[in-house]
């Protein structure tokens, strides 16, 4: 029983991490059609932001504040990544909206630059972020321990998805974003400021990447190449879910999370990785546009 709960929780927890890293992509890739290979590096920026905040707090503020630096780091990670996102949008992406596959190539260049920049600024080795004490330990239930850190990430994921859904489906700016991505010229003919919408949307997607980066510091490494660990998974989740549909992304992330942990438990991490990716390929053969499809009758 306890192993069942532990594994279910592990699955959900991995799923929530996957969801966090994929959410930003669901916007920049799912909605904006930008294949942002630098998404992983935006995650990295969020993680380093958390690190820097911790450094600053621990050297300039009283010791008892250190416990709460994380509260400060979350919004800052979002913000800094968002700002960097805007810069990338203004300098690179903007020219590529009608060439989605080219955006992949250009942002690949961006990711190389950001990685090397991180290496030059923070040094090549990993840096350590000490998570606040209040996240240490866990919650015991039926013999299983659910670490607070993982519960925290789960909560953060839920919070993010609720906020983002409201934003996308219930607000005018969400609607405008979708319109701009579908038909830029027509949207602008209706009075939508495409440039603003582009920047907002990309900033939002990048911000969520930063948020994911902040969350990842709790459980994983923080170094210049952290982004490369997550980028492929993130893309897989978005296409598995169905481009442009948040519900799909959520189901996809949790599905992959639970599937991975279950298979890994009975086989090995390597086999699990192979099987999960093979299943994704097979699934897409069966449902070529993902779990939640958005096809219309138009010819192409």
Partner 1 sequence: MLNVANLQAGYDETTILRDVSIKVEKGKIIAVLGRNGVGKTTLMKTLMGLLKPSAGDVVWRNHSVKGLRPEQRAKKGIGYVPQGRDIFSTLTVEENLLLGLEALQKKPKKDVIPSHVFELFPVLHEMLQRKGGDLSGGQQQQLAIARALVGNPELLLLDEPMEGIQPSIVQLIERVIIKIAREQGVGIVLVEHNVDLALACSDFFYILDHGRIVAQGDSKNVNLEAIQKHLVV
Partner 2 sequence: GCGKTTSTEGQKAMIDTSGDTVKVGVLHSLSGTMSISEVSLRDAELMAIDEINASGGVLGKKIEPVIEDGASDWPTFAEKAKKLLQKDQVATIFGGWTSASRKAMLPVVEQNNGLLWYPVQYEGMESSPNIFYTGATTNQQIVPAVTWLLENKGKKVFLIGSDYVFPRTANKVIKSQLKAEGGALAGEEYTPLGHTDYSTLISKIKDAKPDVIFNTLNGDSNVAFFKQLKDVGITSADIPVLSVSVAEEEIRGIGASVLEGHYASWNYYQTTDTPENEEFVANYKKKYGDDRVTGDPIEAAYTAVYLWAKAVEKAGSFEIDKVKKAADGIEFNAPSGVVKIEGANQHIWKTARIGQVQADGQFKEVWKSGESIKPDPYLESYEWGASLSNKK
Partner 3 sequence: MKFNRTYAIYIVVLIGFLVAPLFLQEFRLGLLAKFLCYAIVAIGISLIWGYTGILSLGHGVFFGLGAYCMGMYLKLEGSTTGLPDFMEWSGVTTLPAFWKPFTNPVFAIGAGIIVPMLLATVLGYFTFKNRIRGVYFSLISQAVVVVVVTLFIGKQDLTGGTNGLTSFYTFLGMSLADSFVQQILYFVTVGVLAIVFALSIWLTKSRAGKVLMAIRDGENRVRFLGFNPTSYKVFVYSLSAAFAGVAGMLFVLQVGIISPAMMGITPSIEMVLWVAIGGRHSLLGAVFGAIFTNGAKSLFSETYPDIWLILLGLLFIVVVLFLPNGMAGLVQSIQNKFKKLKSRKEKSHEPDTMVR
**Binding of residue 126 to partner 1 (CB under 8 A):** no
The torsion angles phi and psi of 265, rounded to 5 degrees, stand at -65, -35
**Binding of residue 90 to partner 3 (CB under 8 A):** no
Q: Choose the one of partner 3, partner 2, partner 1, none that binds residue 185, judging by a C-beta under 5 to 8 angstroms depending on kind.
A: partner 1
**Binding of residue 168 to partner 1 (CB under 8 A):** no
Residues 263-292 that bind partner 3 (CB under 8 A): 270-271, 273-274, 277-278, 280-281, 284-286, 288-289
Distances (CA, A) of 215 to 62, 128, 204: 24, 14, 17
Which of helix, strand or coil describes residue 140? strand
**Binding of residue 192 to partner 1 (CB under 8 A):** yes
Cβ–Cβ < 8 Å for 230, 253: no
Name the β-bridge partners of 138.
147
Distances (CA, A) of 275 to 236, 264, 271, 281, 287: 14, 10, 6, 10, 18
The beta-strand segments (E) located in 102-175 are 138-141, 144-147
**Binding of residue 1 to partner 1 (CB under 8 A):** no
Counts for the chain of helices (H) and strands (E), in that order: 11, 2
**Binding of residue 244 to partner 1 (CB under 8 A):** yes
Residues 251-280 that bind partner 1 (CB under 8 A): none
Residues 249-278 that bind partner 2 (CB under 8 A): 260-261, 264-265, 268-270, 273
Among the listed ranges 20-28, 113-121, 152-160, 185-193, the one in contact with partner 1 (CB under 8 A) is: 185-193
> For partner 1, which residue of 52, 187, 204, 215 counts as binding (CB under 8 A)?
187
**Binding of residue 54 to partner 2 (CB under 8 A):** no
């Amino acid at each position: 029983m306890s192993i069942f709960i532990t594994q279910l929780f592990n699955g959900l927890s991995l799923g929530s991490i996957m969801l966090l890293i994929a959410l930003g992509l669901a916007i920049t890739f799912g909605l904006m059609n930008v294949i942002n290979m630098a998404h992983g590096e935006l995650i990295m920026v969020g993680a380093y932001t958390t690190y820097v905040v911790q450094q600053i707090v621990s050297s300039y503020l009283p010791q008892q504040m250190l416990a709460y630096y994380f509260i400060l780091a979350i919004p800052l990670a979002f913000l800094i990544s968002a700002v960097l996102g805007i810069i990338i949008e203004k300098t690179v992406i903007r020219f590529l909206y009608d060439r989605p596959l080219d955006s992949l190539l250009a942002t690949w260049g961006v990711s190389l630059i950001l990685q090397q920049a991180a290496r030059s600024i923070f040094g090549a080795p990993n840096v350590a972020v000490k998570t606040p004490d209040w996240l240490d330990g866990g919650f015991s239930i039926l013999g299983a321990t659910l670490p607070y850190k993982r519960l925290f990430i789960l909560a953060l994921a839920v919070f993010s998805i609720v906020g983002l859904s409201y934003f996308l489906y219930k607000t005018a700016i969400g609607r405008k974003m979708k319109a701009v991505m579908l038909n830029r010229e027509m949207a602008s003919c209706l009075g939508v400021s495409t440039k603003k919408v582009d920047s907002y949307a990309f900033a939002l997607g990048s911000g969520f990447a930063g948020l994911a980066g902040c969350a990842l510091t709790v459980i994983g490494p923080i170094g210049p190449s952290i982004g490369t660990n997550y980028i492929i998974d993130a893309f897989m989740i978005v296409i598995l879910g169905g481009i442009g549909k948040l519900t799909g992304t959520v189901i996809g992330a949790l599905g992959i999370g639970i599937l991975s942990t279950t298979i890994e438990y009975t086989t090995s991490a390597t086999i699990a990785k192979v099987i999960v990716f093979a299943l994704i390929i097979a699934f897409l053969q069966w449902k070529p546009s993902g779990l939640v499809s958005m096809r219309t009758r138009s010819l192409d």
